[in-house]
Amino acid sequence: MTSRFAAVRAVCRRWLALYVPVAALLLGASTLAGYLLGSAVPLEALPTAEQAGSNPFMPAELTTVNIAVNNLVAMFVMLLGAVSLGIVTVLALVLNGLLIGAVVGLAVQQVEPTVVAALIVPHGVIEIPALLIVAAVGLRFARLTVRYLRGLEDELVTERDFREAGWLVAVAAAMILVAAYVEATITLEIAERVAGRELANV
Question: So what's the pLDDT on residue 7?
Answer: 87
Residues 60-67, mean pLDDT to the nearest whole number: 82
Does the structure show a pLDDT above 60 at 38? yes
Q: Residue 29's Cα: distance from chain center in Å?
A: 14
Question: So what's the pLDDT on residue 45?
Answer: 56
CA distances from 23 to 16, 78, 92, 150 (A): 10, 11, 10, 23
Which of 17-31, 44-58, 93-107, 119-133 has the weakest average pLDDT?
44-58
Residues 195-201, mean pLDDT to the nearest whole number: 73
Q: Return the higher-pLDDT residue of 154 and 2.
A: 154
What one-character DSSP code corresponds to residue 156? Answer: S
Does the structure show a pLDDT above 50 at 52? no
What are the tens digits of pLDDT across the range 72-123?
999 999 999 999 999 999 999 999 999 999 999 988 988 899 999 999 999 9
CB 142 within 8 A of CB 23: no
Closest Cα partner for 112 from 202, 200, 32? 202
What are the tens digits of pLDDT across the range 118-170?
999 999 999 999 999 999 999 999 999 999 999 998 888 999 999 999 999 99
Whole-model pTM: value is 0.88
Question: So what's the pLDDT on residue 58?
Answer: 47
Rounded Cα distance, 65 and 63, in Å: 5
Rounded Cα distance, 68 and 121, in Å: 17
Residue 28 lies in a domain: yes
Mean residue pLDDT of the chain comes to: 88
Q: Residue 112's Cα: distance from chain center in Å?
A: 23
DSSP per residue, 10-47 = HHHHHHTTTHHHHHHHHHHHHHHHHHHHHHTS-GGGSP
CB 141 within 8 A of CB 81: yes
As a 3-state breakdown, the chain gives helix, strand, coil percent values, each rounded to 5, of 80, 0, 20
Percent of the chain with pLDDT over 90: 70
Total tally of structural domains belonging to the chain? 1
Residue 202 lies in a domain: no
Write out the E strands in 10-163. none
Backbone angles phi, psi at 4, to 5 degrees: -65, -40
Question: So what's the pLDDT on residue 46?
Answer: 55
Range of the domain at 45: 2-195
Does the structure show a pLDDT above 80 at 48? no
Residue 201 lies in a domain: no
Residue 27 lies in a domain: yes
Residue 200 lies in a domain: no
